[in-house]
């Protein structure tokens, strides 16, 4: 069996599962946020169950519109907060929280071998830890909160092998954008994407989180990495419970195996209006920008901020550009502060926000007007994703986003002397 099949088999009490099997599987964690939790809570009440199956396995994190941007978002969070306190759930809010998919691994709530579902499409982020994690609808989440189980069809697995060593300024964001550009936004539809190869072995945990996060942009059910030494080192100080590391069998059957020479991959930029509309930085041309965003559940981790600050330090944001930096969690914000990264951003003319999803989904903290263009380290660039349907969003890694903020047009770090 593949890695995904191994985890699902263990969670549904079967010796083996195969692609296409319909299974009922227990879950180790159920997640929802300030957009999806209120619907799940309403449906949970309709089921007629008084208590969730296990309050230690249900997590709620308001992160999309917090700190509350208006009355409607305040009401959503109030409903969520009251339910979480009533049920004794794991709950994080402003001051202790972060963007959900950054926060949960950081807090040791997701571990290798887990089966996790969340009412958010980017729940697949946790596959970086060797877990099977996938997004589902709020009614599915309500059912899981009540029963501790969920049904699903076992996905086929596609294997992506990245050979060679990464070039300078190339990271997980570029590998996944290159992959999506190659196979398309439905190229891994309802499949589990399994990532491996020498370049993956060298990739940091932050880079792996970025890749797993965007598996959904290829239509995938999940994106998974093997839990290697780096993974175990990451979870060692965070884990508060036992976990199981699974490995794919040598004779695993894959729907498809795709191989890349990672050494030939340049920093990538996804042009509007799809993550698959990618170009290497050398072929971007002259694209002036109005805004640069560094953050989100895709690239709001400490490594991302370090890279951004290394490019920006000693320079100034272009007078025509708004540069918005959003740390992914309070812990990351604090570490960035201690390392002097926040100071570097502010002195360069960028603005630093409290952790929030904010502009990624067009929520707030960076909405685009008609005709404006933004380069962003977020995960989607659909029409109207960050504001006006007449605006444009370009996706990149943090180094390219910051270099672009300095130059005033999409540019690589080399153009600012690095």
Token duo for residue 13: 């009490």
Supply the pLDDT for residue 226. Answer: 95
Tell how strand 256-261 and strand 22-26 pair up: unpaired
**Does residue 398 have a pLDDT over 80?**
yes
Top-confidence residue, 251 or 402: 402
Write down the domain spans for the chain: 3-260, 269-416
Token duo for residue 121: 């499409």
Indicate the pTM of the whole model. 0.94
Q: What is the CATH number of domain 3-260?
A: 3.30.499.10
Q: State the pLDDT confidence band at 311, using cuts at 50, 70 and 90.
A: very high
- 178-228 residue pLDDT tens: 999 999 999 999 999 999 999 999 999 999 999 999 999 999 999 999 999
State how far the Cα of 232 lies from the Cα of 243, in Å rounded to an integer: 11
State how far the Cα of 383 lies from the Cα of 368, in Å rounded to an integer: 11
Q: State the pLDDT confidence band at 326, using cuts at 50, 70 and 90.
A: very high
Q: State the pLDDT confidence band at 174, using cuts at 50, 70 and 90.
A: very high
DSSP one-letter string for 326-341? --SBHHHHHHHHHTTH
Supply the pLDDT for residue 417. Answer: 82
Q: What is the mean pLDDT of residues 263-282?
A: 97
CA 114 to chain CA centroid, Å, is 17
Q: What is the mean pLDDT of residues 315-326?
A: 97
Supply the pLDDT for residue 56. Answer: 97
Query: Coil, helix or strand for 376?
Result: strand
Q: What is the mean pLDDT of residues 74-86?
A: 96
- 23-75 residue pLDDT tens: 999 999 999 999 999 999 999 999 999 999 999 999 999 999 999 999 999 99
Supply the pLDDT for residue 244. Answer: 96
Neighbouring C-beta atoms of residue 205, cutoff 10 Å: 19
Which of these CATH numbers, 3.30.499.10, 3.40.50.300, 3.40.1710.10, 3.30.70.20, describes 269-416?
A: 3.30.499.10
Phi and psi (nearest 5°) for 85?
-70, -40
Same fold, 3-260 and 269-416: yes
- 296-308 residue pLDDT tens: 999 999 999 999 9
46-52's contacts with Cβ under 8 Å and 24+ in sequence apart are: 46/142, 47/142, 47/143, 47/146, 49/146, 51/87, 52/87, 52/89, 52/145, 52/146
Q: Is the C-alpha dihedral spanning 281, 393, 403, 128 positive or negative?
A: negative
> Average pLDDT of the chain?
96
Percent with pLDDT over 70 in the chain: 100
Q: State the pLDDT confidence band at 418, using cuts at 50, 70 and 90.
A: confident
């Amino acid at each position: 069996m593949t890695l995904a099949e191994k985890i699902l088999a263990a969670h549904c009490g079967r010796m083996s599962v195969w692609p296409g099997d319909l299974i009922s599987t227990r879950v180790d964690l159920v997640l929802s946020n300030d957009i999806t939790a209120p619907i799940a809570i309403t449906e949970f009440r309709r089921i007629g169950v008084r208590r969730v199956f296990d309050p230690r396995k249900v997590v709620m994190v308001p992160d999309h519109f917090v700190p509350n941007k208006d009355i409607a978002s305040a009401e959503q969070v109030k409903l969520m907060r009251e339910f979480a306190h009533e049920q004794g759930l794991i709950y994080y809010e402003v001051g202790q929280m972060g963007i959900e998919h950054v926060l949960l691994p950081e807090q040791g709530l997701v571990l290798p071998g887990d089966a996790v579902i969340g009412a958010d499409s980017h729940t697949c982020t946790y596959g970086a830890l060797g877990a099977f994690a996938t997004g589902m609808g709020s009614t599915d989440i309500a059912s899981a909160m009540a029963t501790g189980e969920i049904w699903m069809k076992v996905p086929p697995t596609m294997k992506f092998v990245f050979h060679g060593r990464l070039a300078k300024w190339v990271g997980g964001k570029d590998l996944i954008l290159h992959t999506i550009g190659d196979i398309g936004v439905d190229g891994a539809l309802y499949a589990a994407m399994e990532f491996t190869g020498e370049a993956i072995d060298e990739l940091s945990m932050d880079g792996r989180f970025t890749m797993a996060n965007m598996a959904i942009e290829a239509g995938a059910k999940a994106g998974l990495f093997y839990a290697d030494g780096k993974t175990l080192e990451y979870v060692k100080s965070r884990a508060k419970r036992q976990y199981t590391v699974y490995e794919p069998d040598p004779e695993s059957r894959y729907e498809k195996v795709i191989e890349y020479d990672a050494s030939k991959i340049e920093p990538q930029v996804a042009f509007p209006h799809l993550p698959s509309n990618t170009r290497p930085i050398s072929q971007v041309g002259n694209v002036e920008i109005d805004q640069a965003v560094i953050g989100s559940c895709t690239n709001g981790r400490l490594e991302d901020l370090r890279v951004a600050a290394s490019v920006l330090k000693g320079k100034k944001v272009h007078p025509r550009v708004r540069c918005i930096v959003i740390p992914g969690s309070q812990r990351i914000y604090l570490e960035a502060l201690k390392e002097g990264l926040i100071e570097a951003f502010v002195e360069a003319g960028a603005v630093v926000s409290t952790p929030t999803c904010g502009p990624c989904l067009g929520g707030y903290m960076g909405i685009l007007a008609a005709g404006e263009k933004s380069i962003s380290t977020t995960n989607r660039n659909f029409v109207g994703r960050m504001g006006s349907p007449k605006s444009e969003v370009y996706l990149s890694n943090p180094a390219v986003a910051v270099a672009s903020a300095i130059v005033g047009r999409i540019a690589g770090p080399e153009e600012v002397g690095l």
